[in-house]
Amino acid sequence: MTQPENATYKVKVNAHTFSVSQEQIDAIDARMIQEDQVHLLVDGKSVLVHIIDVDHSGKKITLSLEGETMQVKIAGHLDVLLREMGFGRKKTKHTFELRAPMPGLVQKIMVKEGDTCVAGQSVLILEAMKMENSMSVIADCVIKSVKVRSGEPVEKGQLLIEMNES
C-alpha cells in the first residue's frame, strides 16, 4: 500500500510526539553501514544511529543516538485515522464463564479465586455418564470466582467458574 503524496506521520520519541511529512523523510540521506548502524545526513549534519531493537508489528524502534537510548514509535496516516475512529483504544478486559456442558458431578477443582491460568489449562474435572471430563480455560485468565465445590452435582449450563481476561 502506497502512502499519499502529502502523507504525515506521527513519530513518538520517548515522551515527545512530532508530525513528520513525507517530504521531510525524503530529504533525509540514510545509508546502512552495518545491520545495526545507520548513517544519516539531516540538514547537512552527520549522525550515526545504532539500532538496538526493531518491533515491526508494533512499529517501534529502540535506538541509540550520541549515547542516548530512545524509544521511537511511528504511526502512518492509516494508524492515525484508525485511532481517531476509536480503534486505537485499549480493549477492555472480558469476563469468561465456564459452564457445565452436561449434568454431572464435580470431581476435582484445580484452581481457586485469584489464580492465573494459561489457555488450555485444566481447571476442573466433571464426571458425567461414568466418564471424567477435563474442563479447560480457552484463554489466559485470572480466576474471578469458583461457583461449585468438589462432590457437588451440577446441571447442564450451570455456572462453574468465572474468569477475567488477563
Of 56, 84, 112, the residue at which a domain comes to its end is: 84
Pair (110, 147) in one structural domain: yes
pLDDT tops 70 at residue 161? yes
Eight-class DSSP state of 19? E
Higher per-residue confidence, 24 vs 132: 132
Tell me whether residue 120 is in a domain: yes
Q: Which residues does 2 contact at the CB level (< 8 Å), separation at least 6? A: none
Tell me whether residue 3 is in a domain: no
Pair (106, 67) in one structural domain: no
pLDDT averaged over the chain?
Answer: 85
Pair (111, 159) in one structural domain: yes
Q: How many domains does the chain have?
A: 2
Eight-class DSSP state of 139? S
CATH number for position 114: 2.40.50.100
Tell me whether residue 138 is in a domain: yes
The mean pLDDT value for 102-117 works out to 95
What distance in Å separates the CA atoms of residue 110 and residue 113, rounded to the nearest whole number? 11
154 backbone φψ class: left, alpha, beta (φ>0; ψ -120 to 50): beta
Q: Which residues does 57 contact at the CB level (< 8 Å), separation at least 6? A: none
pLDDT tops 50 at residue 65? yes
State the pTM of this model. 0.46
Per residue in 8-24, pLDDT tens?
Answer: 888 888 888 888 888 88
Pair (21, 77) in one structural domain: yes
Identify the domain containing residue 102 by its residue range: 95-165
In the block, cell 508489528 appears at: 57
pLDDT tops 60 at residue 126? yes
